[in-house]
Amino acid sequence: MGAETIKLPAIDFSQLKQESGTPTRESVKSQVKFALREFGCFLATFDQIPPNLRNSVIGGLKQLFDLPLQTKLGNRSNIRYRGYSGQHPVIPLYESLGIDDALNLGSVETFTNLMWSEGNPDFCNSILSFSEQLSQLDQIVRKIVLESLGLEAYTDEHIGSTDYVIRFQKYDPPKSHETELGFTAHTDKNMITILYQNEVNGLEVLTKDGQWMTVELSPDSFIVVVGEAFRAWTNGRLRSVHHRVMMKGSLARYSIGLFSVPKEGCIIRAPEEMVDEEHPSLFKPFEYFKFLDFFLSGEGQRSSDALKQYCGA
Q: How far apart are CA 102 and CA 178, in angstroms?
A: 36
Closest CA to 233 of 310, 149, 163: 149
Residue pair 45/221 in contact (Cβ under 8 Å)? The answer is: yes
Give the number of other CB atoms < 10 A from CB of residue 41.
26
Q: Report H helices in the chain.
A: 23-38, 51-65, 69-72, 105-115, 121-148, 155-160, 228-233, 288-296, 298-302, 306-311
CA distance 253 to 247: 8
What CATH architecture applies to the domain 4-272? Answer: Sandwich (2.60)
Strand partners, 258: 166, 194
Q: Which stretch of 11-25, 37-51, 252-266 has the lowest confidence by average pLDDT?
A: 11-25
Pairing of strands 222-226, 243-247: unpaired
Q: Quick one: pLDDT at residue 78?
A: 80
Please tell me the predicted confidence (pLDDT) of residue 113. 97
Residue 2: pLDDT band (50, 70, 90) is: low
| Cα–Cα distance measured from residue 97 to residue 99, given in angstroms and rounded to the nearest whole number | 7
DSSP string, 184-211: EEE---SSEEEEEE-S---EEEE-TTS-
Confidence of residue 21 (pLDDT cuts 50, 70, 90): low
Instruction: Tell me if residue 272 falls in helix, strand or coil.
Output: helix
Is 234 in contact with 23 (CB distance < 8 Å)?
Answer: no
CA distances (Å), origin 302, targets 127, 168, 236: 35, 26, 22
Report how far apart the first and last C-alpha atoms of the chain are (Å, whole number). Answer: 40
- What does the pLDDT read at residue 17? 58
pLDDT, tens digit, for every residue of 97-145?
999 999 999 999 999 999 999 999 999 999 999 999 999 999 999 999 9
Question: So where are the chain's domains?
Answer: 4-272
Complete DSSP assignment for 205-239: EE-TTS-EEEEP--TT-EEEEE-HHHHHHTTTSS-
Mean pLDDT of 144-169: 96
Identify the CA nearest to 280 among candidates 270, 289, 295, 288. 270
Question: What mean pLDDT comes out for the span 184-194?
Answer: 96
Coil vs helix vs strand at 179:
coil
In the structure, what pLDDT confidence band is assigned to residue 82 with cuts at 50, 70 and 90?
confident
pLDDT of residue 1: 45
Q: In the prediction, which pLDDT does 125 show?
A: 97
How high is the mean pLDDT of the chain?
Answer: 93
* Rounded-to-integer distance, Cα 129 and Cα 47, Å: 14
Averaged pLDDT, 289-295: 93
Report, as an integer, the average pLDDT of 191-209: 95
At a CB cut-off of 8 Å and minimum separation 6, what does 209 contact?
Answer: none
Average pLDDT of 166-180? 93
- Distance of alpha carbon 234 from alpha carbon 253, whole angstroms: 33
Q: Which of 113-122, 151-160, 212-221 has the lowest mean pLDDT?
A: 212-221
